[in-house]
Chain A
């Protein structure tokens, strides 16, 4: 790679990365309610966005929020690997990062046990089939994952869960740097990575329309912890 990695304009990266999709806000809200991230009433009654002030309360809710994001990432990379439309270094990344994200899902489910939220249904609207859309989406997902874990880390009570979350946080940052380099942008854009609130992260996920249904058949209903 030449000496020309440039800062990436990440505004709208995700929305540009995905094909136009019908609005599935209701499906997303049902999924978020199932994940214990918003009140079920909001999913049923409110056509608006998820509670903007609604950070997950307590370690179990935080871990379920993390699990929801890991489900999203794991399903994304798993589908990329299954479809086999992505080539080169990006395909290698998808394979290895997919292994990591599935491991994160397994680890979180193990920690949460019966309290683990179910995997939502996803539709990636072509982002797993086009090289450019894949790379842009993966950059956005990984940077989002880093900011999401960073936003929750100081809110975690249990030192064990905190150590676990920090360990995943660093791996997500490694993924982010790797995919950014593949995208031709600076892997570490700033000296300080900023956190993101759950409200922000979920609004971004909402904007992708990637979550199309609440749960799969093998799932368990969600709890707020």
Chain B
């Protein structure tokens, strides 16, 4: 509802504001760690993740999606609205990854190497893969968002609804219900990691 919002800021400005919010959230987190002397909990330990870990987790999802769209646009001979979808959404995912990488600074993990197989050479495989990764992205962010500090939450929330829009768009293109239920199920980090592992797309750190 940008057009009838109070704020008429161009996207770059809003983006900067969001980044500022996360950065100050991250600073608060860093301060907490310093003062408390508490190390960040390990991923997969079942304990609540800290902001930096959650943002790195989100970053990995965004890198995965971003690479899928970039490679499919090169190799899958996408046409019509599916090509438009890949261009628009690919641009969003790159912007999300850049935003998270900048927010995390030196704490950002390096992007892994990906191998998407025929998901980036076959248009139909691409579409169903994009649908799966977008639905997963929404569930992953919704699962982690409540654990974020409020400032980071405000920032991640600007991303999560865009992922939900992507998911609805690709589902509609596939002839599936864009919004299959009244509540969007969240997934735990462990569930999301298992789902990503099952795809075989992640080939380790580049």
Contacts and interface: CB of A to CB of B under 8 A. Distances in A.
Interface of A: 1-3, 5, 8-14, 96-97, 99-100, 103-104, 107, 140, 143-144, 146-147, 150, 153-155, 159, 162-164, 166-178, 181, 186-197, 200, 204
Given A10-B4, A153-B153, A174 B162 contact: no
B7 A194 contact: yes
A171 B184 contact: yes
Given A159-B146, A196-B5, 15 more contacts: A3-B81, A3-B83, A10-B1, A163-B146, A166-B157, A168-B183, A169-B157, A170-B142, A171-B164, A174-B165, A177-B164, A178-B168, A187-B172, A194-B2, A200-B5
A59 to B, nearest CB: 13
Given A13-B4, A163-B146, A169 B161 contact: yes
By Cβ-Cβ distance, the 5 closest A-B pairs, closest first, are A10-B3, A173-B164, A177-B168, A174-B179, A173-B161
A99 B182 contact: yes
Contacts of B167: 174, 177
A159 to B, nearest CB: 5
Contacts of B186: 163, 166-167
A164 to B, nearest CB: 8
A162 B6 CA distance: 25
Most chain-B Cβ atoms within 10 A of its Cβ — which of A144, A153, A155, A175?
A: A153
Nearest to A200: B6
Contacts of A197: 6
B92 A191 contact: yes
A187 B11 contact: no
A159 B147 CA distance: 8
Contacts of B7: 194
| Chain B at the A interface: SS class | helix
8 contacts: A96-B179, A166-B142, A167-B184, A171-B182, A172-B161, A178-B178, A181-B172, A190-B11
A178 B5 contact: no
A194 B1 CA distance: 8
Interface residues of B, number: 53
Interface string B148-181: 0011011001111111111111001000011101
B142 A167 contact: yes
B110 interface: no
B162 A190 contact: yes
Contacts of A190: 2, 11, 92, 162
A87 B159 CA distance: 33
